[in-house]
Amino acid sequence: MVHSGRLSEACFPCRGRRIKCDKTRPGCSQCKRMNITCSGYRELWDQKFRDMNESVAKAAQKSYKNSVSRTARPRKALPKPDEIDHLSSLTPLGSTTTSGSSYDTDQSMIWPTITHSVKDIAIVHFMTSYIPGSHFDYLPTIHCQVDSSSTLLATVQAAATAALGQEMRQPHLMQQARRLYVRALLETNTALANPSTATEDATLISVLLLGLFETIAWIGPRTPDSWIIHTRGALVLLKLRGSQQFKTRIGRQLFVQVTRIACVNSLQQKSRLPAELKDLMKEAALHESEYSKYQFAHLTGEVADLVADINEKKCNAGVIVEAAKVLDSKYILLGKRLPPYQEIETATSQSGVCSKTFHRYSDHRAAQLWNSYRMTRILLNEIVYAFPSSTNSKNSAIQTEAIQHVQQMAADICASLSQFTIANGSVTLGAPTHLAWTMVFPSTISKASAASLLWPLSVVRGASKVSEEVKQFAEEQLKILASGCRMPQAERIGALKYDDDSLENG
């Protein structure tokens, strides 16, 4: 048995729409105003505790039996992914991970046996266990405000069901999530084809959630191609939304979110940020008081340009090293503008990785920002080391300094893990003899916050100038993420060879 937490006393229609219920008897005034029948109010005491595993297991058994009984029934198939492309003239959102499959668009077929309570559980789990600590922190408010016909409801349900399926390790829920994904994809493409809805906040959020679905459902160590396609689609929408998007807080927040994703994608693809996006970033900076948000993106764009130049072999070694050093110095200056953090020395004589120092930040978001800074500096200094100049003595000093920077950034990333794994005022010592503490995730940490460690740990593990001991530490933490937070992607990343890791692939 697990505690369900504080249950809402609201009626079912108000809970479904996530609006405040005044709990007037016999029926609430909100239902009366919407001219619908109020369901009344449930008894909370007998629902205070519920066995989630048993509930989902019963739903799975019922789903299996019903699916067997329906095999002889003719079904109307959805178009295959390669047939969806023509539905949208704005962005190529047709690629999905469900290649070769066909699904029923009928809502009753998408949820053939899953009860309303399980659908509610998926949404509640998603909003309380995944969204906090993520860049979708605006979603609960927007989800309550959209019209019942909005495509956003379908994309939220798809992502929420996928998150619950992964958390509960229930294959049948993942199958349902993929069906919901195809339905959400069709609805999103319909919204994109309509000029009046294509530039709405809900449409852009839907595209971002389709990308999030890919990261949740994808089990491989590499970035899925369909995530890249959704990222490109979001960039197209930024251009369509133009200057108008900077006039509202949510518009600016969505712009920053898409810009960050675009920067990651550019580094991974070894390509440049689109010129149109750079122009929009300059305009956005005029509307945003937090300078570091856009300065970080601008610098990342410069790093992406350098990586693209290297990939295209446009520069000689001397130019590459100088450009990387200049960018690294710019990041050092930017680091002075980032939120401060506390370095805490532990009273232990143990030697090895993270044995004496851990970090405490104001919040998880600050730790994530710092780790983005450190990952980029690791990349730049690995570039400096990899392209020696012609003067041997000078080159030796430059390479020695680059190695020191890489090792310091890797150590800082390892020390930052305490923000996610150690409660204030306590340090857990022991376990592996070369570690001063082990990762133990508190129940209050969100899945998104834990997932934000995947890339930093992968970068540490893949950096060529990081010691084997530090790499082993990063690999162990990836395994702990895989088991403790149920992230199969972490296990697959941890299984990669060092020379086939994150830095090799952006």
- Report the DSSP beta bridge partners of residue 344: 358
Does residue 177 form part of some domain? Answer: no
Kindly give, in sequence order, each residue whose CB lies less than 8 Å from that of residue 287, ignoring residues fewer than 6 positions away. 246, 247, 252
Pairwise CA distance, residues 370 & 347, whole Å:
25
- Torsion angles phi and psi, residue 433, rounded to 5: -65, -25
CA distances from 431 to 64, 348, 413 (A): 42, 14, 20
Residue 192 confidence (pLDDT) above 80: yes
In the predicted model, what is the mean pLDDT of residues 244-265?
A: 92
Residue 97 confidence (pLDDT) above 60: no
Pairwise CA distance, residues 268 & 78, whole Å:
32
Pairwise CA distance, residues 228 & 92, whole Å:
10
Does residue 278 form part of some domain? Answer: no
Residue 93 confidence (pLDDT) above 50: no
Quote the pLDDT of residue 96.
Answer: 40
DSSP helix/strand/coil, 3: strand
Quote the pLDDT of residue 89.
Answer: 36
CB atoms within 10 A of CB 455: 18
Pairwise CA distance, residues 172 & 165, whole Å:
8
Structure tokens at 304: 């992406």
Quote the pLDDT of residue 500.
Answer: 39
Quote the pLDDT of residue 75.
Answer: 38
- Ranked by mean pLDDT, which of 58-67, 97-106, 276-285, 383-392 comes out on top? 276-285
Does residue 390 form part of some domain? Answer: yes
Pairwise CA distance, residues 320 & 327, whole Å:
11
Half-sphere exposure of 391 (CA within 13 A, CB side): 6
Does residue 491 form part of some domain? Answer: yes
CATH number, residue 22: 4.10.240.10
Quote the pLDDT of residue 292.
Answer: 63
Does residue 86 form part of some domain? Answer: no
Tens digit of each residue's pLDDT (9 = 90 or more) over 14-51: 877 778 888 887 788 888 777 777 777 665 433 433 44
CB atoms within 10 A of CB 308: 17
Helix 468-484 crosses helix 454-462 at what angle (to 10 degrees)?
150
- Report the DSSP beta bridge partners of residue 342: 360
Tens digit of each residue's pLDDT (9 = 90 or more) over 279-303: 999 888 887 665 567 788 889 999 9
Closest CA to 150 of 211, 201, 219: 201
pTM of the model: 0.69
Confidence of residue 477 (pLDDT cuts 50, 70, 90): confident
Does residue 61 form part of some domain? Answer: no
Tens digit of each residue's pLDDT (9 = 90 or more) over 357-373: 888 899 888 999 999 99
Pairwise CA distance, residues 113 & 56, whole Å:
11
Quote the pLDDT of residue 169.
Answer: 80
Element (H, E) at 472: helix 468-484
**pLDDT > 70: what percent of the chain?**
68
Own/partner pairs for 68-71, CB < 8 Å, 24+ apart? 70/112
Residue 136 confidence (pLDDT) above 90: yes
Does residue 327 form part of some domain? Answer: no
In the predicted model, what is the mean pLDDT of residues 364-383?
A: 94
CB atoms within 10 A of CB 77: 11
How many structural domains does the chain have? 2
More confident position, 97 or 158: 158
Residue 491 confidence (pLDDT) above 70: no
Report strand pairing: 49-50 vs 2-3.
antiparallel
Residue 417 confidence (pLDDT) above 80: yes
- Domain containing 33 equals 8-39
In the predicted model, what is the mean pLDDT of residues 409-431?
A: 65
Does residue 83 form part of some domain? Answer: no
